Amino acid sequence: MSEVVSYRPAPSELAYTFGGREAVRRVKPGTIVELYTEDCFGGRVRDVGDLPSVVCEFPYLNPVTGPLHVEGAEPGDTLAVHFVEIQPARDWAVSSTFPHFGALTTTHTTAMLHEPLEELVWRYDVDVAAGTVTYHARRGDLSVALPLDPMHGTAGVAPGAFESRMTIVPDVHGGNMDTPELRAGVTAYFGVNVPGALFAVGDGHCRQGDGEVCGTAVEAAMNTVVILDLIKGAATPTPRFETDDALMSAGSARPLEDAYRMSQHDLVTWSATLTGLDVLDAYQLLSQAGTAPVGNVCDPNYTMLAKVDKKYLGGGATAYEGMHARLRAEARDYLSAR
Residues 88-117 close enough to bind a second copy by CB under 8 A:
95, 97, 103-106, 108-115, 117
Closest to 301 in 3D by CA, of 259, 239, 250, 264? 259
Report if residue 201 touches a second copy, rule: CB under 8 A. Answer: no
Indicate the residue type of 202. Answer: G
In the complex, minimum distance from the CB of residue 316 to a second copy, in angstroms, rounded to a whole number: 9
In the complex, minimum distance from the CB of residue 138 to a second copy, in angstroms, rounded to a whole number: 6
Binding mask 161-200 for a second copy (x = CB under 8 A): xxxxxx----------------------------------
Contact 308, 181 (CB under 8 A): no
In the complex, minimum distance from the CB of residue 152 to a second copy, in angstroms, rounded to a whole number: 16
Q: Number of residues interacting with a second copy: please give it, by CB under 8 A.
A: 90
Residue range at the interface with a second copy (CB under 8 A); choices 3-11, 31-39, 81-89, 210-218? 210-218
Q: Which long-range contacts (CB under 8 A, 24 or more apart) does 52-55 make?
A: 52/96, 52/98, 52/119, 52/121, 53/98, 53/99, 53/119
Contact 18, 90 (CB under 8 A): no
Question: Cβ neighbours of residue 204 under 8 Å, at least 6 residues apart?
Answer: 37, 39, 86, 88, 150, 151, 152, 153, 219, 220, 221, 222, 224
Starting at the edge strand found earlier in the chain, the sheet holding 132-136 runs 92-96, 121-127, 132-136, 143-147
Which DSSP helix (H) or strand (E) runs through 246? strand 246-253
- Decide whether 33 or 169 has the Cβ nearer to a second copy: 169
Q: Provide the 10 A C-beta neighbour count for residue 4.
A: 14
In the complex, minimum distance from the CB of residue 234 to a second copy, in angstroms, rounded to a whole number: 19
Q: Which of 65, 154, 176, 216 binds a second copy (CB under 8 A)?
A: 216
Chain residues 5-64 in contact with a second copy, contact rule CB under 8 A: 16-17, 19-20, 58-59
Torsion of CA 189, 153, 144, 128, to 10 degrees: 70
In the complex, minimum distance from the CB of residue 250 to a second copy, in angstroms, rounded to a whole number: 13
- Decide whether 65 or 105 has the Cβ nearer to a second copy: 105
In the complex, minimum distance from the CB of residue 321 to a second copy, in angstroms, rounded to a whole number: 21
| Euclidean distance between CA atoms 6 and 108, whole angstroms | 39
CA angle 100, 18, 151 (to 5 degrees): 70
- Decide whether 241 or 302 has the Cβ nearer to a second copy: 302
Chain residues 283-312 in contact with a second copy, contact rule CB under 8 A: 283-292, 294, 297, 302, 304, 312
- Decide whether 131 or 335 has the Cβ nearer to a second copy: 131
CA separation, residue 31 to residues 9, 240, 332 (Å): 18, 20, 14
Chain residues 133-162 in contact with a second copy, contact rule CB under 8 A: 133, 135, 137-140, 142, 144, 146, 160-162
Q: Which of 40, 192, 218, 274 binds a second copy (CB under 8 A)?
A: 218
Binding mask 242-281 for a second copy (x = CB under 8 A): ---------x-xxxxxx-xxx-xxx-x------xxxxxxx
Report if residue 127 touches a second copy, rule: CB under 8 A. Answer: no
| Euclidean distance between CA atoms 337 and 293, whole angstroms | 34
Query: What is the maximum span of the chain, computed from C-alpha positions, in angstroms?
Result: 59
In the complex, minimum distance from the CB of residue 148 to a second copy, in angstroms, rounded to a whole number: 11
DSSP reduced 3-state for 173 = coil
- Decide whether 34 or 92 has the Cβ nearer to a second copy: 92
Q: What is the DSSP letter of 108?
A: S
Report if residue 131 touches a second copy, rule: CB under 8 A. Answer: no
